Amino acid sequence: MRALLVHNPTAGTKGHDKDSIIDALHLADYKVDYVSTKEDGVRDALKKAPDLVVAAGGDGTVAYVFKHMQDYSVPIGVLPLGSANNIARSLGIAGTPQELAEQWHTGHVRPFNLIVVNGLKEEMLCTEAFGVGLIATLIERRAKGKKADGADDIRRGRRALKEILTEAEPHDVEINIDGQPWESDLLGVEVLTIPFTGPALPLAHDADPSDKLLDAVGVDRDNGEAVIDWLKSPHESAPPVISRQGKEIVVRWRGVESRIDDKLVKAKADWQEVALSCAPEPLQILVPAPHPAVRKSADDK
């Protein structure tokens, strides 16, 4: 099989360079066409994608590949090389390029629904989340500082989010889910199809990227302190947030920043509005298939 490798050469550490990843794909019997995210030609390469597309990098690289796929029937393999790796975490994908490539089987895929965002200058696709308030403010604040690597980057992000929550006041935000208004004094809202967002936080605890539902997650005035406490160990319990699910979610807001994945939408004094829904056709994401030699425990048999 022939694979198109879309690689961010600045992501990850030793063992994640171009030659190492190509070696890993060769080990799994893939012929490789290579394109770097730092060069022109990625979109053109994706238009002519062969049997498999491999996205090697952080969430930005993975999101770019997802949003620019032309043929949704071509499976996508994800090699997570970033810090948060929210998309890979949400799909249960973890491991070295060598481990993952040898566990890919073209029939072992999971559907992944992108979010369609309507209401801005043009229709846009979103892989992770559309949000108003908290995470958008975090993205804006962290863009002014120097990015760290790995776990330190995640720690800094969570620490900054605690500070933002401490200062936050309710925003002018109105939400309608499948025709029903959702009223609350919200400090921020995120609309996702995957559980993880921001600094590797499972905010949408029950979100499933393979269903056709969007998960709206809100932090309101009453649970802000509880979220600050939860950030100390976010993987030990479900987040203390308000959540709703729906097929179409309309968000209106003013006077605060919003975001589409990691792209900021500037605050305006006038009301802004978007309508969010799942794309009509899902992507096909390769998920590692366990080797037959890896046996279940006696308790699982």
Q: Using alpha carbons, select from 26, 21, 76, 74 the residue that is nearest to residue 48.
A: 74
At 118 the pLDDT is: 97
Residue pLDDT, tens place only, 187-244: 999 999 999 999 999 999 889 999 999 999 999 999 999 999 999 999 999 999 999 9
- % of the chain residues with pLDDT over 70: 95
Reported confidence tier of residue 13, pLDDT bands at 50, 70, 90:
low
Report how far residue 214's alpha carbon sits from residue 207's, in angstroms, rounded to the nearest whole number. Answer: 8
Question: What's the average model confidence in pLDDT over 232-260?
Answer: 96
Residue pLDDT, tens place only, 33-85: 999 999 889 999 999 888 999 999 999 999 999 999 999 999 999 999 999 99
- Return the CA Rg of the chain: 20
Which of 13 and 218 is assigned the larger pLDDT? 218
Q: How far is CA 65 from CA 2, 118, 172, in A?
A: 17, 20, 34
Residue pLDDT, tens place only, 157-202: 999 999 999 999 999 999 999 999 998 899 999 999 999 999 999 9
**Domains of the chain as residue ranges with CATH:** 2-112+282-300 (3.40.50.10330), 116-278 (2.60.200.40)
| Start-end of H helices in the chain | 18-27, 42-47, 59-68, 86-90, 97-103, 134-143, 150-167, 224-230
pTM for this model (two decimals): 0.92
